[in-house]
A and B are shown apart, each in its own frame.
Chain A
Amino acid sequence: MSVARHESPSAVEDRWGRTSEGHPEDGFFAAAYRSWFRVEWEGLENIPEDGGALLVSNHSGMMPVDGGLIQHGIQVERGRAVYMLAHHGFFRIPFMGRTLNRIGSVVAHPDNAHRLLAEDGRLVLVFPEGAKGPVKPASERYRLQRFGRGGFVETAMRAGVPIVPIALMGTEDSTPTAAQLNLGGQAMPITWNSLLLGPVLGAVAHLPVKIRARALPPIEFEGPSDSRSLLMDRAELVRGRMQDALDDLYRNRRSLWEG
């Protein structure tokens, strides 16, 4: 009995489950990127043309779109695929994990990041603020939260790749926080979007705020190092440069619409 041969699965997706070099949701993201958020970049030359680099950005929004916008923007403007590290909890939800994999998200694990950076020579996007960025109160708008324990610096040093900080201005205003609830110790922001449009539509609908993205010069650290205090010093250095860039973008902003 003959056995039918099938096309190798590697022809359609890579080992991380990403289905193609492009963003699979090109239609939606292209429209959001160009027409809704009208994203403008500065410092794109700081994104390396080849080889691994760890992209570090500020994180915000009830349903954060910042990751998708950076992925799509660098793919379109620079021609390079960006892989994003995402919290493992998303991968427990049916359909969510496989969708995230297909659009280039990977479980945030130091080994995954190392393989992407050192073995595959990829651009990897991480939000060191984690969940603290999206849930911060309105009074902390555009103030970076703590950068965890400096794990992202350790990852870059171990892989021997530069860190490229990216400051995003506008994302926090696309889902502005009106109030903050405390649910069993977990902070839960209530956005103006959800107050005006209801919890479902308000969670996905973003105001058409112009977004400016600024890629800062790459920072290279020699490593690896076992010193926790050294990692924290370096994480604070990255955080400081990003905060300065955010302050500068905020100062020079004309309006929410014009950016």
Chain B
Amino acid sequence: MSTPRRIVVTDVQHPIGRHVLDALRDTSAVEFVGGLVTRAGRRADKGPDVETLPIAPDHRPFAAYLREHRIDTVVQCGLAPDRSGGRVGPEDVDVIGTMCAGAAVGNADAGIRSWVTLSSSSIYPIDSHASLLQREEDARAPDPEAPQAALAEAEDYARDVAIRHPHINVGVLRLQQLAGRGLSGSLAAVFEQDPVPSPIGFDPAIQLLHADDAAAAVTFAALHELAGVYNVASTGQIRWDAAMRVAGDRGAPVFPVGAWAFAPLMERLRLPHLPDDIVPLARFGQAIDTTKIERAGFRPKHDQTDCFDAIRAGRARARPARSAR
């Protein structure tokens, strides 16, 4: 950390990429931080040192950028699905982008010391026999058709880069579902409904990651050149009912078994519903163990109450705007 760092953040068209870029801009240990919009045509708040540069399918322009700007650390924010809304399919996981980023990073002339890539807690199974807190080694070989399979493939690729280029610290951060500062993953979106759907007969332990903690964790990983796989979540877990009391004015009981059949209609009618990708979470919950990154020295600033409070605050802000329209 003694040498001022030169960092590039890719995929700043995603909200998480933009937050990470902003966090790194505020860090004194960073001499240069650039941002890349990696999808042509995507709008992003440009700001200083932000340019549009697709990193796939041809990695060479990205490798040239790394050389030209003497970048030593790459933070790639495009592997995890864009969880700003909607369902996640395998096509939402940017495996090819990750492979191209890895090819550019591994280029001998690039002079890269550290590559941080953002994965997702959705790589872990959600079922009744999972442990309360899932550890990094608990990720299973998933169904090849599932989005998790694409995540696992991309993570495997990053691991392979680390083996082939031992001088590069490759850090994979598995981010829990996001909330706060305008970010809302699929779980946060459920709690943004009014009333908040409450699964009848279940009260699982759930967990979110506040956008501030996400940006801070990525900054920490980049500056401390973390290597390996790390879970990232805000502190603790919370039961669904307790989260509902924090985030919502009122709850609406929803039967989670068979909810998939009615979800599209309920969504259209703007009635409280559980999207089918959330139903297993609403029955069995999911939380990840963050001991490993905490042992490395990172402490999140927010707890779960803060995360669900942020959802409540966001909804309170949105209400007058809606009523004004």
Contacts and interface: CB of A to CB of B under 8 A. Distances in A.
Interface of A: 1, 3, 5-6, 8-10, 12-13, 15-17, 88-89, 91-98, 101, 106-107, 109-112, 115
B239 A13 contact: yes
B257 A16 contact: no
Contacts of A17: 203, 205, 239
A30 to B, nearest CB: 25
Interface of B: 127-133, 135, 138, 200-203, 205, 236-239, 242-243, 245-246, 257, 283-284, 305, 309, 312-313, 316-317, 320
A88 B283 CA distance: 12
B312 A3 contact: yes
Contacts of B138: 111
16 contacts: A1-B316, A3-B312, A6-B246, A9-B238, A9-B242, A9-B243, A9-B245, A96-B201, A98-B203, A101-B203, A107-B130, A111-B131, A111-B132, A111-B138, A112-B131, A115-B132
Given A15-B237, A91-B284, A97-B202, A109 B129 contact: yes
Nearest to A119: B291
Contacts of A112: 131-132
Contacts of A88: 127-129
Given A9-B305, A15-B132, A112-B131, A94 B201 contact: yes
Contacts of B305: 6, 8-9
A122 to B, nearest CB: 13
Contacts of A92: 128, 283-284
B132 A16 contact: yes
Nearest to A93: B201
B205 A15 contact: yes
Contact of B316 (A3, A9, A97): A3
A94 B202 contact: yes
Contacts of A10: 236
Contacts of A98: 201-203
B130 A109 contact: yes
Nearest to B287: A15
Nearest to B312: A3
Nearest to A111: B131
A111 B128 contact: no
A10 B235 CA distance: 12
Nearest to A94: B201
A1 B283 contact: no
Contact of A111 (B127, B133, B236): B133
B320 A107 contact: no
A93 B284 CA distance: 10
A111 B129 CA distance: 11
Contacts of B202: 94, 97-98
A179 to B, nearest CB: 31
Contact of A91 (B128, B246, B313): B128
A15 B201 contact: no
Contacts of B309: 3, 5
Nearest to B315: A3
Interchain residue pairs A-B with the least CB separation, the first 9: A94-B201, A9-B242, A88-B129, A111-B131, A109-B131, A98-B203, A88-B128, A95-B201, A91-B128
B256 to A, nearest CB: 8
Residue from A9, A15, A17, A112 having most chain B Cβ neighbours under 10 A: A9
A81 B309 CA distance: 32
Nearest to A8: B305
A101 B236 CA distance: 17
